[in-house]
Chains A and B, each alone.
Chain A
């Protein structure tokens, strides 16, 4: 699909004409991320994060495939082979730090991408499928990241594997056999390490496949935009190339500066020191935590400390943790407001900021030891988290009066009531403040 005014691919070189007839890959790229894809002209910097996430996936796959050339997935030597990479392999330290911090940055970028979607209601019709595929990608990322963290076979690797597979042990009846089946033993060992390595190698390519579907689904309705008003005419859009390729190039540069600062100057700041101690099945680290990007969900898991009626606390925590992500699947049908953008929804916006605060509290508590006041704080934050998605979001539209929407994107940009086809922007050089 495309808008009727989308530019058409016209091959000029004979080779490109030949290719266009036999395998129209250049046309495909042109229509996907080239001049053939009209994009709303008013996207702010939050819209950079989709491309950044794609770039992170590429970083992870490239460094990951290379690390797999030097890593040995065997419980006896996994830790040593990781140190071999750090000490002896040419540039091995850079590749490993790049991969470990790349995972963290992938999550930073994806969290911003998700919360941008939540604020501007990017999940609403006609973009439900994009959102659903995005949640699938996020779940796959969590599984991949978890298994990747196990591979160095340090203390946190081992105990992380034990605790996370222990979650499945909470399922009534089948829990324990399921956990043993997942690990291929009674505790994490060679069998678990080997299968985690295999899946850690496979899943990123599954993610890549779902990312392609995600982008495909995006190109059917086209990109959303900060006003939430759909594209109406050609003046509402600019071609992806060169406009957004240029903007994404700048965004990528800034991203890489921050990323390389971590890789080269504080590569272990996002990791845990205990993972530099080889796995020891006989001794649990004093303060066991997952990687930072799991902290909100870990906090929700730990918030349930009391059995409730017939439900054991452990099971309740596991259900809540999975529910906290699965609830995102239902957002397109829970939020009934006809207005998409949070910019025009005064009441929703306040609740959204409260959600950000709750997330921040959950992040903080998830990384803290399991003691007061962190447990109680995470209980309050988790309460708000569930209330926000399951109670507030469905109800807020019934008592909220949205602010008046602009007639079109062009009108919003130019502040011009005429809008539409007659709005010819005056070309001046320095009239382009970022609308972020």
Chain B
């Protein structure tokens, strides 16, 4: 009874070889179409996890800096992450400028990290570039680390008064977000 149950594709009947190939082609084409369809479905299933439109929508944060005395800092929120806004004292600016940039892990001068005319305003993300903890040093009385800037307690990264990485595992300086002074006392971040 093998004739009925065994798939005798290529041998049965005296048809030409071309015919046989056409038939195999049909099955390959059908399976391929199913494969293409299956792969196409994966695209929306994967991209649905990417940020949705409301998250992507350009968001900005306005910060009033008029109440920040030299030597003080505040934490603002930008894209659900902390931003440090720090009013540097002349001594802190001097300390930052005294470091030869060539000796740094992530060479950048203070001037490159601030806006012209507002060199005393150091605005950085409050996100350690190592693994994303929030460094200490913005709040009153917090540990500012060995270099007087910020200290990340998670894995011991020390940042200086220009928020540059000086010691510890972090690879980069604290990130400076895009911002602009819309007036002398107002910063728009983002």
Contact = CB atoms under 8 A, between A and B. Distances in A.
B4 A234 contact: yes
Contacts, number: 64
Contact of A421 (B1, B7, B12): B1
Interface residues of B, number: 21
B48 A89 contact: yes
Interface stretch (B49-57, B66-74, B173-181): B49-57
Contacts of B50: 90
B7 to A, nearest CB: 6
Assign chain A's interface to a size class: 20 to 34
Nearest to A63: B45
B34 A233 contact: no
A41 B1 contact: no
Contacts of A233: 1
A410 B3 CA distance: 13
A90 B5 contact: no
B44 interface: yes
B30 interface: yes
Contacts of B48: 66, 69-70, 89-92, 95
Given A249-B30, A249-B34, A427-B8, A92 B1 contact: no
A429 B1 CA distance: 19
Contact of A90 (B1, B8, B13, B47): B47
A237 B5 CA distance: 7
A234 B1 contact: yes
Contacts of B44: 90-91, 94-95
Interface in B17-54: 27, 30, 34, 44-45, 47-50, 52-54
B172 to A, nearest CB: 30
A179 interface: no
* Interface SS of B by simple majority: helix
A238 B30 contact: no
Contacts of A239: 5, 7
B30 to A, nearest CB: 7
Contacts of B54: 84, 88
A126 interface: no
A424 interface: yes
Contacts of B4: 41, 234-235, 238, 424-425
A333 interface: no
Nearest to A252: B34
Most buried by A among B5, B7, B12: B5
Contacts of B13: 427, 429
A429 B103 CA distance: 82
A87 interface: yes
A77 B89 CA distance: 47
A429 B22 CA distance: 14
A78 to B, nearest CB: 17
A91 B47 contact: yes
Interface string A413-432: 00000000100110101000
6 contacts: A62-B45, A90-B47, A90-B50, A91-B48, A235-B1, A249-B34
Interface of B: 1, 3-5, 7-8, 12-13, 27, 30, 34, 44-45, 47-50, 52-55
